[in-house]
């Protein structure tokens, strides 16, 4: 059978080529409006999205022939997975493919913050030699607390150890076994980790339980010298509380790849982005050529094996 695949967000060409070679009809319609999606989806067996497209009940109901919803990437928070499965539509993602890219970005952001690389580069480009003003910190000997020790958190832990850091980790299940495997200290609780860490890095999915997991109470537990790194999902952190924490010195800095609204829309969010002790990137965690190629190939092979049996 010649399956029809609708791609509504940009994905690497390689996987699409594999699908076309298999005889599938692949329609790429990136940046289509929601009403266009609702109109088109009824003709397709497969829908490929990334994190921007909301695949809710209305979209799933409109997809009369839909068999597979594919998330090119990890987080499934934009897809009503339960409803899809109840309607017999399988939901798949590529959880392994982007872990290294995100873990590497954590250290890019952290070094940027710790060594003030952004200020240094900007100074140079503006013709200003800021050498004496740009004293930073070393990662060596610091304590890194990792909340969520899954695929990405584990890769972050390995790299933190290579920098000579002491690593404390927390996850909900199988904590002791994971900590032992990684050679890190298991945290008795999130508070235990927050109290001791110089750097706190978040690697949990966004769920009802993790929504605003880091709020005023947690930020006040952290050391005043500590920095927070968030490359998971914006809403894991109460952004308004973070803004106050950074303005009032409850913690010393933050590095963020994700925000509650992407791009930011409220004036207080832009205020956060512009603070001098904040380094922020526009959700580029998975944006490496290698990761995107891996995502698209892995997805293509999963689609073929699920549809062809």
Active site residues: 233, 262, 283
Sheet with 253-256, side-by-side order of all strands: 185-186, 166-170, 143-147, 199-202, 227-230, 253-256, 278-280
283 touches ligand NAD (CB under 6 A) = yes
Stretch that binds ligand NAD, among 17-25, 52-60, 242-250, 282-290 (CB under 6 A): 282-290
- Rule CB under 6 A: say whether 234 interacts with ligand NAD: no
Q: Which of 97, 60, 64, 98 is nearest to 79 (CA)?
A: 60
Encode burial over 165-189: b for 16+ CB neighbours within 10 A, e otherwise: bbbbbbbeeeeeebbeebebbbbee
Question: With contacts defined by CB under 6 A, how many residues of the chain interact with ligand NAD?
Answer: 31
Binding flag, residue 151, ligand NAD (CB under 6 A): yes
Nearest Cα to 283, choosing from 108, 51, 68, 11?
51
Residues 88 to 117: which contact ligand NAD by CB under 6 A?
95, 98-99, 102
Residue 74 interacts with ligand NAD (CB under 6 A): yes or no: yes
Does the protein bind ligand NAD through residue 188 (CB under 6 A)?
no
Q: What are phi and psi of 119, to 5 degrees?
A: -65, -40
Nearer to ligand NAD, 147 or 165 (CB): 147
257 binds ligand NAD (CB under 6 A): yes
With CA atoms as reference, report the closest residue to 95 among 173, 179, 154, 14. 154
User: Binding to ligand NAD by residue 152, rule CB under 6 A?
Assistant: yes
SS3 category, 223 = coil
Q: Could you say which of 94, 143, 201, 231 contacts ligand NAD (CB under 6 A)? A: 231
Which residue has tokens 């956060």?
Answer: 272
| Shortest separation between residue 39's beta carbon and ligand NAD, angstroms | 30
Interaction of residue 167 with ligand NAD, rule CB under 6 A: no
Task: Please give the residue ranges that form the binding site for ligand NAD (CB under 6 A).
Answer: 73-75, 95, 98-99, 102, 148-153, 171-173, 203-207, 209-210, 231-233, 257-258, 283, 285-286
């Amino acid at each position: 059978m010649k399956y029809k695949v609708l791609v509504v967000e940009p994905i690497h060409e390689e996987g699409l080529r594999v699908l076309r070679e298999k005889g599938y009809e692949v329609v790429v319609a990136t940046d289509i409006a929601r009403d266009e999606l609702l109109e088109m989806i009824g003709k397709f067996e497969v829908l490929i999205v990334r994190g921007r497209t909301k695949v809710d009940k209305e979209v799933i109901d409109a997809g009369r022939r839909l068999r597979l919803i594919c998330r090119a990437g990890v987080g499934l928070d934009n897809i009503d997975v339960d409803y899809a499965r109840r309607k017999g539509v399988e939901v798949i993602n590529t959880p392994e493919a982007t872990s290294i890219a995100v873990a590497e970005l954590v250290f890019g952001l952290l070094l940027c913050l710790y060594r003030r690389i952004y200020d240094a580069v900007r100074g140079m480009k503006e013709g200003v030699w800021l050498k004496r003003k740009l004293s930073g910190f070393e990662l060596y000997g610091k304590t890194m607390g990792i909340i969520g020790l899954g695929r990405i958190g584990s890769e972050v832990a390995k790299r933190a150890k290579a920098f000579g850091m002491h690593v404390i980790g927390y996850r909900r299940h199988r904590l002791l076994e994971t900590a032992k495997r990684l050679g890190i200290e298991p945290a008795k609780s999130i508070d235990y980790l927050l109290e001791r860490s110089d750097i706190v890095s978040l690697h949990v999915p966004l769920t009802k339980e993790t929504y605003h997991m880091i709020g005023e109470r947690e930020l006040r537990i952290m050391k005043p010298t500590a920095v927070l790194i968030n490359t998971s999902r914006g809403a894991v952190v109460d952004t308004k509380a973070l803004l106050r924490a950074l303005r009032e010195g409850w913690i010393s800095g933050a590095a963020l790849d994700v925000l509650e609204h992407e791009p930011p829309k409220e004036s207080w969010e832009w205020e956060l982005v512009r603070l001098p002790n904040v380094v922020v990137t526009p959700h580029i965690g998975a944006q490496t050529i290698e990761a995107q190629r891996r995502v698209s190939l892995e997805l293509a092979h999963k689609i073929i094996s699920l549809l062809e049996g």
